[in-house]
A and B are shown apart, each in its own frame.
Chain A
């Protein structure tokens, strides 16, 4: 860490934005288990509503396993995937970021825009159909993550692609998990 870096500034940013967790680095199953168990403990301590806790757990698993299965094996220490969780009174924001090849942006965008456009009943039908037709991929995914995240959170998925000026972009995705739905 550069000496000029002010730890207090980072703390202030976290505090002001109600960030309870920031992680950047390797995403694997062990990391996912640790982060989830840590978050769960904190939520139990804070007496967070059980249903909200389950939904957050759900969104975290899908989001993190998505990255775990799709992270690019690029020999670079730059642009690690990250996870940020912030909490408000009755909701949590789960934000993840990971590198994506520019030629994959279109398909990801199309997938998310489509699930975001569906209402509750349409999502249910789409999930059922997609699950029936899905095949577990070589990386162990069923291709159902985004649909499930919209269904369980009850909110559309927000996203952004940051152009890095190379063949890759940074894919930032935010899911709001609220208690009201």
Chain B
């Protein structure tokens, strides 16, 4: 089965999502404070289920978030844990790149906290 591209345009309260196996780009960026996090992020988990069966290259999942609320913080942890599972089950290596704005200590700390919680190659990168 061909894995489709997951592309969600960003809004003022939801992030832009682009997961594309053709270009090998996987990025979540922007702000995340949706009213209903579970339904907003459901397509991500559905896509990851398919991705797990089709994984070929060594993908890098980039998180480039400017802000997220506490409910999103829980969902992001769930996504990272799902990626950890995929990494463990696959011969490919799944990498995480967590970006934070140089001046944003809270986003740096958030990245470091996630890094401690999942066993997966995890880089915290300033931009």
Contact = CB atoms under 8 A, between A and B. Distances in A.
Interface in A133-163: 134, 136, 140-142, 144-145, 147-148, 152
Contact of B69 (A51, A54, A61): A61
A141 B74 CA distance: 9
Contact of B70 (A57, A124, A132, A145): A145
B71 A148 contact: no
Given A65-B33, A136-B38, A136-B71, A33 B77 contact: no
B125 interface: no
Interface string B89-104: 0000000000000011
Interface residues of A, number: 29
B12 A33 contact: yes
B70 A142 contact: yes
* Binding site secondary structure of chain B: helix
* Binding site secondary structure of chain A: helix
B126 interface: no
A142 B74 contact: yes
B36 interface: yes
B74 A134 contact: yes
Interface string B68-112: 011101110100000000000000000000000001111001000
B13 A131 contact: no
B46 interface: no
B8 interface: no
B73 A140 contact: no
B37 A140 contact: yes
A39 B93 CA distance: 43
B2 interface: no
Interface residues of B, number: 23
Contact of A29 (B13, B73, B77, B116): B13
A58 B12 contact: no
A127 B33 CA distance: 18
A57 B67 contact: yes
Interface in A92-147: 124, 127-128, 131-132, 134, 136, 140-142, 144-145, 147
A50 interface: yes
Interface of B: 12-13, 33, 35-38, 67, 69-71, 73-75, 77, 103-106, 109, 113, 116-117
22 contacts: A37-B12, A54-B67, A54-B104, A55-B106, A57-B67, A61-B69, A62-B69, A62-B70, A65-B33, A65-B69, A68-B35, A124-B109, A128-B117, A131-B74, A134-B74, A136-B38, A140-B35, A142-B37, A142-B70, A144-B70, A144-B73, A148-B73
Given A131-B74, A132-B77, A144-B74, 6 more contacts: A51-B105, A61-B67, A65-B35, A142-B71, A144-B70, A152-B106
